[in-house]
Amino acid sequence: MEEQLDVQSLINEQKRKKFLQAFMLYLFLIAGAVTMLAPFLWMVTASLKQPGEVFSYLKPWWYDWIPTSFVWQNYVKVPQVVPFVRFYLNSIFVAVITTFGQVATSALSAYAFARLKFPGRDRIFFAYLATMMIPGVITMIPVFMLLQSLGWIDTYKAVILPPIFTAYGTFMLRQFFLTLPKDLEDAAKIDGCSYFGIFWRILLPLSKPALATLTTFTFMGNWMSFMWPLIVLNSHEKFTLPVGLAYFQSFHNTDWTLLMAGSLMMILPILLLFIFNQRYFVEGIKLSGIKG
């Protein structure tokens, strides 16, 4: 009887310990989440204030975090102060085409590297790998001069073309293709399927998760891309969102409410894309071990 009680109290003790541990963990995780989210909350609150409101020094602390006014008008005013809609459309155009180009050319070359035998293949692949460690800044100046001599500065071509050809996409998709079983392809080959047929009808459909990952990654990168568009674009009506927002903030750096509204509108598509695709995203990071 006594022994049984002992066991019971031991189990209770263990349960209590476990509960306490989970409680502490959640406390820690929530503290982390609050730290990560606070600046965003602040951004939302600021974007909804009256223009003069944010400036009041020594306001109560909660004033920054809980919206006291809802000036939705700020979101309407942004496109009136700068050609924000134009920037948005430019960004969509540039990001979609660049992403499509990156994924398409990467998939083609990844197939060649993963499945086809041709002289010099491994040497070329090694050269691809090696270029991944070349800082982008090295190629920036010669490419700029090349585009300048072609008369392409201040065109969409100049923004879109150079980033399309990435070693990273090729590398990542090759790694994924190598993990796929070859049986289906061999069977198709025996049935007389062409190489392109194998690529298009077998390999690509099997690679949907990897393609989704690469597309998500590259689209986000292109959407946020700042330095290159800044260098090659001059006229305002061609600016992408980041360049446009930078320009906006250099000329209207006191219109904080509008700046916050504009910034929020800029990150919104990325936020949604990430929330819906985050499973792919995590897999992609694990797959390649590479930081975007």
Residues in 82-101 at the binding interface with other proteins, rule: CB under 8 A: none
Minimum distance of other proteins from residue 3's CB (angstroms) = 24
62 or 70: whose CB is closer to other proteins?
62
Single-letter amino acid, residue 28 = F
Which residue among 10, 20, 89, 141 contacts other proteins (CB under 8 A)?
141
Interface with other proteins, residue 134, by CB under 8 A:
yes
Helix (H, G, I), strand (E, B) or coil at 37: helix
- How long, in residues, is the chain? 292
Which residue among 10, 11, 20, 33 contacts other proteins (CB under 8 A)?
33
**Site residues (CB under 8 A) for other proteins, limited to 61-80:** 61, 63-64
Minimum distance of other proteins from residue 135's CB (angstroms) = 5
Residues 159, 234: contact at Cβ < 8 Å? Answer: no
H or E segment and range at residue 42: helix 2-47
Which residue among 20, 89, 129, 187 contacts other proteins (CB under 8 A)?
129
Q: Which residues contact 270 (CB under 8 A, 6 or more apart)?
A: 220, 223, 224
**Site residues (CB under 8 A) for other proteins, limited to 219-258:** 220, 224, 226-227, 230-231, 241-243, 245-246, 249, 256
Terminal C-alpha separation, the chain: 63
Q: Which one of the spans 2-10, 41-49, 68-76, 79-87 is the region binding other proteins (CB under 8 A)? A: 41-49
Among residues 61, 41, 232, 45, the alpha carbon closest in space to that of 145 is found at 232
- Alpha-carbon radius of gyration of the chain: 26
Minimum distance of other proteins from residue 13's CB (angstroms) = 16
**Which residue carries 């990273």 as its tokens?**
168
The tally of CA atoms less than 13 A away on the side-chain side of residue 284 is 25
Q: Which one of the spans 71-79, 92-100, 102-110, 206-214 is the region binding other proteins (CB under 8 A)? A: 102-110
2 or 117: whose CB is closer to other proteins?
117
**Site residues (CB under 8 A) for other proteins, limited to 192-221:** 195-196, 199, 220
Distance in angstroms (rounded) separating the CA atoms of residues 96 and 240: 12
Interface with other proteins, residue 190, by CB under 8 A:
no
8 or 136: whose CB is closer to other proteins?
136
Distance in angstroms (rounded) separating the CA atoms of residues 238 and 154: 8
